[in-house]
Amino acid sequence: MMKMIYAIYQEIKKMLTNYTFGMVVLATAIIHISGTIFTDAETDKSYNLVQLMMLGKAERQMKIEMYNISFQSIFLQGSQSYLWMFASILASAPFVVLLCTAKKNNNIRFEIYRTGKKNYVLAKEIAAMFVGGLVMLFGYILFAVVLKCVLPSASAGNSIFAGDSLSGDTFTGDMLAGNILTGIMVTKRLFEMFFYGMTSVLITFIFSGMMRNKYLVLCVPFMANYLVKNMLEKPELVANHTAQIVNPVSPTWLFLYEKDIQHKILLFWLVVAVMGFICYYLILNRRCDCGE
């Protein structure tokens, strides 16, 4: 048990201290920032955060008030970006780069001898999922920092957070309830992004046991993710109930679904994680080169 915990710690440490981690976190934030935050009804033009910043002060303020744009509203709903398309690459990159480098240098067999095959696979999967979650989480936090610098907080009359509609110097029970609600909503949103990063790694993890080339390991799940998401959006092919559960993007809106759907989404990805472990272990066990 201690060997596995130590192996998980070492894997996470290696991924977090590699330059790839910082690069994909920054790329995740940039994708969020480049996503659409509102569409002008008069011109039918979509605006992202950068385009909104480039407007004149008066025009920017007018659009913010006209479309009720605030830090809170955009933070909770996110931007309409292409993150769903690149999530599997971004979340998996820190894990894949180190794994493929270890395969190239023939270091894997020594790691397996120290920990055993089961502990080796489990440590790899847990560390990959955890770091993938951190990629999405930290990327979204960077996006939130930029939002806070650019957009105003919700006004008293139309606040999404109950605490924002309160004023005065007295810390009343209503203010406490509003702050608690704010904390709950923020925590839920950040957990959704962390969970999305964890699930985005799983398919790549399975393919990493079959291939040595890091570009193939990253690109095959990317194409599979694209095809599956587009197929699930066609109701004539897949029932809506099933699509909500197995859609790769569903974790980003986990708490918007009914409790029954939430539980099924969590169960589905738990099954995928278990199947990922079994597939990787079987592949590793069948190869005489210890997966190298």
Rounded to two decimals, the pTM is 0.86
What pLDDT band is residue 177 in, cutting at 50, 70 and 90? Answer: low
Q: How large is the average pLDDT for residues 23-47? A: 90
Here the tokens at position 155 are 């006004």
pLDDT at 159 over 60: no
Burial of 18 by CB count in 10 Å (0-12 exposed, 13-18 middle, 19+ buried)? middle
**Pick from 121, 101, 77: nearest CA to 252:** 77
Token couple for 278? 């079994």
**Is the pLDDT higher at 203 or at 153?**
203
Question: How do residues 208-256 score in pLDDT, each as one tens digit?
Answer: 888 778 888 889 888 988 888 888 877 766 777 788 888 888 888 888 8
pLDDT of residue 169: 45
Burial 227-242 (b: 16+ CB within 10 A, else e): ebeeebeeeeebeeee
Neighbours of 103 (CB within 10 A): 19
Q: Where are the domains of the chain?
A: 2-286
Q: How confident is the model at residue 175 (pLDDT cuts 50, 70, 90)?
A: low
> Does residue 119 have a pLDDT over 90?
no
Which amino acid belongs to residue 287? R
Given a contact cutoff of 8 angstroms between Cβ atoms, the answer to whether 37 and 74 are in contact is yes
Most confident listed range (19-28, 73-82, 180-189): 19-28
Which of 104, 105, 126 is CA-nearest to residue 115?
126
Q: Which of 104-108, 117-121, 158-162 is predicted most confidently?
A: 117-121
Tokens of 176: 């406490």
Strand partners, 106: none
Helix (H) or strand (E) holding 179: helix 173-208
Q: To the nearest whole number, what is the mean pLDDT of the chain?
A: 83
Categorize the per-residue pLDDT at 58 as very low, low, confident or very high, splitting at 50, 70 and 90: confident
135: pLDDT confidence band, cut at 50, 70 and 90? very high
Buried-exposed string 173-193: b where 16+ CB fall within 10 A, e elsewhere:
eeeeebbeebeebeeebbebb
Identify the burial level of 266 via C-beta atoms within 10 angstroms of its C-beta, where 0-12 means exposed, 13-18 middle and 19 or more buried.
middle
Strand ranges for the chain from DSSP E: 36-39, 46-48
d(CA 221, CA 162) in angstroms, rounded, equals 41
- Rounded to 5 degrees, what are φ and ψ at 290? 60, 30
pLDDT surpasses 70 at 287? no
